[in-house]
Amino acid sequence: MSTVAMEMASQNDHILSSTAAAHRCALKLAEDGYTVLSVLIEHRNPVVWVQNCAKCSRLRGASMVRRMGPLGRETIMATQLHGCQVQWVVRGH
């Protein structure tokens, strides 16, 4: 491999490792019965959004943001899984 090709490969290491982590996380969540809504790979840790459901309490998330949304009070919950931040929105609490 040429020096240029090696430099290009190393420049992409962070995005490739983030993509792999997001894949592992989304796969585990899907296997456990969660509905994965989206995956964002923009910063250091990928963010995986799941649909709020009764099982989300098993994720042991912490309140990250509380705000008033169009349907009333919303709390964004977050936890870590496989190097990713898993988030979901709880409404009405």
* Domain range list for the chain: 3-91
Q: Is the predicted pLDDT of residue 9 greater than 80, yes or no?
A: no
Percent of the residues in the chain that have a pLDDT greater than 90, as a whole number: 65
Q: Is the pLDDT of residue 62 over 80?
A: yes
Say yes or no to pLDDT of 18 above 70: yes
What is the value of pTM for the model shown? 0.83
CA distance 89 to 50: 8
Q: 12-47 burial string, b = 16+ CB within 10 Å, else e?
A: eeeeeebeebbeebbebbeeeebebeebeeeeebbb
CA pair distance 87, 48, nearest whole angstrom: 6
Would you say 61 and 78 are in contact if contact means Cβ atoms under 8 Å apart? yes
Q: Count CB neighbours of 89 within 10 A.
A: 18
